Amino acid sequence: MKPLLLASLLCLAPALTWAADSGTSSQSASSASSKPAAQHVTKKAAPAHHAKAVKGKAKKQEAKAAPEPVPEVVVLTPEEKAVSERVYTGHIVCELGASVQIDPDPKSPGSFFVAGKGFNYHMHPVVAATSAVRLEDPRSGAVWIQIANKSMLMNQKLGQRMADDCMSAQQAQVTQAMKTAPAQSLFDSQPVGSR
């Protein structure tokens, strides 16, 4: 039954998206024809040298202070609470001199403040299909992913990594253990424990 539903969904998905696209284009065409013509308004432009100075100051101010996140109280499911208990907190060092500070939010148990140079997020845990710990800030699009040996911070809306190869003390121990005792290859002649 599930394969039949999946196959029918895969067949119908392109047709439904095509129908939705054609419906929105016809609506926009009809609304465009019913709108009155735009009036041309001219404004006196500011002097060019003054505009450049203002832009430079604005960029410097943005780089200095990250916007404060507005904490929201999120009610977590038992699975999300279990994920939040596995989050490493404190100062975490990343590659290229970056670092991340993760602190629990006392007003919203299970939520965390994730801050660093140029960013400040209020994140809550999300249950993932893998065993990775995943924190998200849906408003900003920020995602913190933590696995056994490293973590990373991404911004999905901007499509970029903000901090990569971050390691807490526990993750550094796991990384060192992986280097000293690597996992056995599938191509080894005898599996472990069969001797």
Q: What is the pLDDT of residue 120?
A: 94
Q: How many CA atoms lie within 13 A of 148 on its CB side?
A: 8
DSSP string, 134-179: EEEETTTTEEEEE-SS-EEEEETTTTEEEEEEEB-HHHHHHHHHHH
Q: What is the pLDDT of residue 28?
A: 46
The yes-or-no verdict on residue 193 having pLDDT over 70 is no
What pLDDT band is residue 111 in, cutting at 50, 70 and 90? very high
Q: What is the pLDDT of residue 21?
A: 58
More confident site: 73 or 29:
73
Q: What is the pLDDT of residue 33?
A: 45
Q: Beta partners for 116?
A: 100, 119
Please give the model's pTM, rounded to 2 decimal places. 0.58
Q: What is the pLDDT of residue 77?
A: 87
What pLDDT band is residue 93 in, cutting at 50, 70 and 90? very high
The yes-or-no verdict on residue 40 having pLDDT over 50 is no
Rounded to whole angstroms, the Cα distance separating 23 from 31 reads 12
What pLDDT band is residue 63 in, cutting at 50, 70 and 90? very low
Q: What is the pLDDT of residue 190?
A: 61
**Which residue ranges make up each domain of the chain?**
78-180
Q: What is the pLDDT of residue 94?
A: 94
The yes-or-no verdict on residue 51 having pLDDT over 50 is no
Q: What is the pLDDT of residue 22?
A: 54
Q: What is the pLDDT of residue 89?
A: 95
Q: How many CA atoms lie within 13 A of 163 on its CB side?
A: 28
Three-state DSSP at 90 gives strand
| CATH number at 78-180 | 2.40.128
**Side-by-side strand order, sheet with 119-126:** 90-93, 99-104, 112-116, 119-126, 133-137, 142-146, 151-155, 160-166
Nearest to 143 by CA among 165, 126, 166, 167: 126
The yes-or-no verdict on residue 17 having pLDDT over 90 is no
pLDDT, mean over the chain: 75
More confident site: 156 or 17:
156
